[in-house]
Structure 1
Amino acid sequence: MTFLLVVTGISVAVIAALLLGLRARPDNRLRGLAGVGTFAIPLGAAAVYLAVGSPSFIDPRASLDDGDTVIALLERQVASQPDLPGPLMNLAQALDEAGRPGEAAALWRRAAALGGDAQADALAHAAQSLIMANEGTVTTEATALIAEALAVEPAHLPARFYAGLAELQAGQPADALATWNSLLTDLPPDAEFRPMVESGIREAAARANLPSPLPDATPQLPDDAQIRAMVDGLAARLAENPDDLEGWKRLGRSRRVLNQFDLSHEAYLQAVALAPEDPEALAGAAEALTLGSENPAEPPEEALILFRRVLDVDPDHALALYVVGEAAVRQGDKATARAMLGRLLQRIPPDEPMRQAIAERLEQLDLE
């Protein structure tokens, strides 16, 4: 089925990056600590959700030895703070990343039961985990979770998409057609996710023996090729409209998720040229440069310069504080390391599991 590609790891991740900006985004100063990390930093190594939150960046938890160690730390955090949604959601995401979506789904549901602003997100996450666990099938339980998410937030984009997928798989193509038509009207004309929704609309119309409201599409590409074509299409549009700051940052995120780190770095540098004091653009360029280096555990000097520029314009930027602090540790500059990591510790909410890792790092510095 055409839409099974959205529950595969790389595709979900790229779509997440492409859809950033369609929903309100969290405080960027803590965004680097919001998800599961992407590469190792000394202290070792720690699908991105369809349309919610930020993509994964460098994370202090990545400095713990491996994925099992990360999960163990998060499990301890959940045990000590079982009534806070943040630790539950962090552990659920880590389990999704570790290929354990069935376990993740249960944790997403626990987080959703606690209510709060992220309830609809947690419910849709739980549904997505169940779909992943069932190799793309929208089960009865997943369908119920989607309905719950929509009851909490009727305009929720991922939940509406999966609702259409559930209807299509349930043999209700006319309902899927209506759901996806409605979703399409709420997407900006240049949204990179539109081709996915449009493809679903055509498939639903064909199954319902109804005329498609959309013109015929070009031949369907293989899953990964389709995703890359979407990203390349964004790059082509930016070549014609090079003053689109948000577009360059979106392209940088998408290229990074595709592991095209050199191209991600170039895209972010275009954004930096347009907005030299944009911390997201600066940090994105620095991260892409680091990920593409021979040893991501030790960012190259060019990346460190960019991270320091981030701190010049946003002294509380969590990702930059961590990277510059760890660089100071390697250089033997304990005063700077304590200042950077201490400031970072003050910025991390009490319910975030990485707070413990940073506190332990500071204690280690005091003992050396």
Structure 2
Amino acid sequence: MTETVETSKISRVLLFGALVIFIIAIAIGASRNFGSASEPTAATGLNDIDVNAAGPDAVIASLEERTRKDPTDVEAWQLLGWSYFENGRYLDSANAYGKATKLEPARAVYWSSLGESLVMADERNPMPKAAKAAFDKAIILDPKDPRSRYFLAVSKDLDGDHKGAINDWLELLKDTPKDAPWESDLIRTIEQVGKIHKVDVTESLASTQKKRASDLSGILKSIAAAPIPGPSKTDMAQAAKLPPGQQQQMVTSMVEGLETKLANNPKNVDGWIMLMRSRMTLGETAKAKAALTKSIAANPEAQSKLLKEAQILGVPGT
């Protein structure tokens, strides 16, 4: 049991440790691929902060003030939860995400973020009951939610169902974009848990990779599944060096910049697909669905392509 707990403590942070850099890469790639935007501005609700000078404490203080002024501001609670988490304040993060779930209980990403914060906040129990309940809620709302799928597999591993956990991680791997930053960590988790519990994963892992290659070959021209265009190693290194509070600001401002450009040029079908991809990666499923609706309205002749790409991304209702 000790080995299982230790393995799960390590594996619970592997998959999503690189997620913020992946999101930034999408934002950079989208911006570069569809025309350079003006210098990014601060994220919505943070315009009163000098993002070039403000550190994480200033961002958190501003968000705390925003929630005091308007306790019903769900976006502020989400951003505050994110900022707390990025600064290692996991219990505070859980409290903020808890507020978000009460304000918008139908948003899966709020529940899975709450669950992850609760996992990280508990140094003794690798899967607290409240965290498990949050992941269960999220997976009901969105069966494709990757964070919940990952941690629910961790829960199976902790309960002794090692094969079941590995199978769930393999299923998640099938849905993981090729060359996603967390891909190698997810594979490593499968291999590590298999080795510890003497479960041979060689054949199943090879079969999954073969299936992924086959699926990708059938959608090679898909914008939704294509490699992220544009970001160089320098871009990625610079993104990684950003203070945690500014990473979210950069992501939000760049994605909103793409949305602004699409408002001015709504006939850019590929731009709409990149916007949907960015929104889904951020967990903003409602905004991704809204982008799909707008894209079809502006490009009725491309409805079939837009719907197909949205299905690949898992946009709700497709």
TM-score (norm 2): 0.54
| 1:36–1:94 CA contact under 8 A, matched in 2 | no
List gaps (5 residues or longer) in structure 2.
1-5, 31-36, 207-225, 243-250, 264-318
- The one-letter amino acid paired with 1:189 is K
Deviation at 1:258, TM superposition (A): 3.5
CA–CA distance in structure 2, aligned partners of residues 154 and 100 of structure 1: 28
CA–CA distance in structure 2, aligned partners of residues 115 and 250 of structure 1: 37
CA–CA distance in structure 2, aligned partners of residues 179 and 142 of structure 1: 18
CA–CA distance in structure 1, aligned partners of residues 67 and 39 of structure 2: 20
Q: Which residue of 2 aligns with 1:160?
A: 149
Q: Which residue of 1 aligns with 2:176?
A: 187
Pairing partner for 1:14 from 2, 15, 18? 18
**Does 2:241 align with 1:259?**
yes
Deviation at 1:18, TM superposition (A): 3.0
Pairing partner for 1:139 from 103, 128, 135? 128
Aligned length: 216
- Residue 127 of structure 2: SS of its match in structure 1? coil
Deviation at 1:130, TM superposition (A): 1.6
| 2:179–2:227 CA contact under 8 A, matched in 1 | no
Deviation at 1:6, TM superposition (A): 6.0
Deviation at 1:206, TM superposition (A): 3.6
1:146-225 counterparts in 2 under 5 A? 146-212=135-201, 213-214=204-205
Deviation at 1:245, TM superposition (A): 7.7
- The one-letter amino acid paired with 2:62 is L
- Residue 214 of structure 1: SS of its match in structure 2? helix
Q: Describe the superposition over 1:1-50 as per-residue Cα deviations: whole angstroms up to 9, x where unpaired.
A: 45645666x984533323665xxx9xx9998534999xxx9x8xxxxxxx
> Residues 142 and 34 of structure 1: is their aligned pair in 2 closer, same or farther, counting only changes over 3 Å?
farther
CA–CA distance in structure 2, aligned partners of residues 188 and 160 of structure 1: 15
Deviation at 1:315, TM superposition (A): 11
Deviation at 1:168, TM superposition (A): 1.7
> Residues 13 and 145 of structure 1: is their aligned pair in 2 closer, same or farther, counting only changes over 3 Å?
same
1:176-325 counterparts in 2 under 5 A? 176-212=165-201, 213-214=204-205, 246-249=228-231, 251=233, 254-259=236-241
Q: Which residue of 2 aligns with 1:87?
A: 76
CA–CA distance in structure 2, aligned partners of residues 63 and 6 of structure 1: 35
| 1:36–1:90 CA contact under 8 A, matched in 2 | no
Deviation at 1:165, TM superposition (A): 1.8
CA–CA distance in structure 1, aligned partners of residues 152 and 39 of structure 2: 31
Deviation at 1:112, TM superposition (A): 1.6
Identity among equivalent positions (%) equals: 18
Structure 1 vs Structure 2 CA RMSD: 4.3
Deviation at 1:154, TM superposition (A): 0.5
1:57-96 counterparts in 2 under 5 A? 60=50, 63=53, 67-96=56-85
| 1:29–1:314 CA contact under 8 A, matched in 2 | no
| 1:14–1:254 CA contact under 8 A, matched in 2 | no
Q: Describe the superposition over 1:245-283 as per-residue Cα deviations: whole angstroms up to 9, x where unpaired.
A: 8244275553234339xxxxxxxxxxxxxxxxxxx9xx7
> Residues 248 and 79 of structure 1: is their aligned pair in 2 closer, same or farther, counting only changes over 3 Å?
same
Q: Describe the superposition over 1:44-71 as per-residue Cα deviations: whole angstroms up to 9, x where unpaired.
A: xxxxxxxxxxxxxxx645645x544433
Deviating 4+ runs (over 6 angstroms): 28-31
Between 1 and 2, higher relative CO (CA 8 Å, sep ≥ 6) is seen in 2
Q: Which residue of 2 aligns with 1:110?
A: 99
| 2:7–2:193 CA contact under 8 A, matched in 1 | no
Q: Which residue of 2 aligns with 1:345?
A: none
Q: Describe the superposition over 1:130-162 as per-residue Cα deviations: whole angstroms up to 9, x where unpaired.
A: 222224823222111111111111001121112
Pairing partner for 1:121 from 109, 131, 150? 109
List gaps (5 residues or longer) in structure 1.
44-58, 216-243, 261-279, 285-309, 317-368
- The one-letter amino acid paired with 1:190 is D
CA–CA distance in structure 2, aligned partners of residues 126 and 205 of structure 1: 28
Deviation at 1:80, TM superposition (A): 2.0
| 2:18–2:181 CA contact under 8 A, matched in 1 | no
**Does 2:21 align with 1:33?**
no
Deviation at 1:164, TM superposition (A): 1.4
> Residues 178 and 16 of structure 1: is their aligned pair in 2 closer, same or farther, counting only changes over 3 Å?
same
CA–CA distance in structure 2, aligned partners of residues 71 and 88 of structure 1: 11
Deviation at 1:195, TM superposition (A): 1.6
CA–CA distance in structure 2, aligned partners of residues 154 and 83 of structure 1: 27
- Residue 147 of structure 2: SS of its match in structure 1? helix
TM-score (norm 1): 0.48
Q: Which residue of 1 aligns with 2:246?
A: none
CA–CA distance in structure 2, aligned partners of residues 36 and 255 of structure 1: 27
CA–CA distance in structure 2, aligned partners of residues 132 and 105 of structure 1: 9
